[in-house]
Structure 1
Amino acid sequence: MHRAEFERLGATIWGGHGWKSEAARAFEVNRKTISRWIADDMVPDWAATRLRAIGHIAPPPGTTADEDRDDACAEAIEGELSRLMELATDAGWQRAEIQVAILSLTVTDMMAHAGTEATMELLDQAKALLQQSDHGR
């Protein structure tokens, strides 16, 4: 990725003023690193990939209601998740294998950030919803 695309996407995602500091936080690098990428007209591939992904996912809505945010988040990431599924199936993975991997990574991340108890509660809620939908058929 070259400077122009990096600056355009960065300003679009984080706003015109102060976007470099926000990008540095998102990429977990020093603000000077962002400036160096721009001066050198060369953004590392890993940062370019991440920036493009951020640019394709809509930001959260203005509401703080959990249900609204959950639905909006699902809608915002659906396209990228579908793209990931397609890339993995094109590489030869079976859909069920991909889904198990995504679920496993999700549960591991939930446990790391929310704890085992909160993760178990959420999984119990998901199980109850599945059982309700099964009984509704």
Structure 2
Amino acid sequence: IDDQVWNEVYITPFMLKIQAPAHERISQIAWRIKTGRQALLTVLAIMRYEKEKGQYPASLDELVEAGYLKKLPMDPHSDGPLIYRRTNGGFLLYSFGMDLTDDGGKLGLGSQGTPRMWADNGDWVFWPVPKPQVKQ
């Protein structure tokens, strides 16, 4: 087999196979960073709104209308913005996460069965910040 045929038939598909997982992982990390940045800006806008108005906004749309955000923070795992809800004495902000399902703001679980940000299951909860698990 000459070198050109060898490269076209064997080397190129082989290289694509071994590189594909790395490219997928890089893409996942890029989306995490982008989503985390949007969430951080949104949390800061919500807190600023609450400090200035004395209450949390009813919706993320209010933050845009009042000029606290330029645009709605989009959830890369749904067809809409990050999920925001007012709660007793605070608020909840999250993304559907990798499972593409709204789990009601329930943080996913890691391999040890403990709550974990960026897990493949559950939601990516940005606020409130989960308390760290203490190892016993």
TM-score of the aligned structures, taking structure 1 as reference length: 0.23
Larger % of strand: which? 2
**Which protein is bigger by CA-based radius of gyration?**
2
Larger % of helix: which? 1
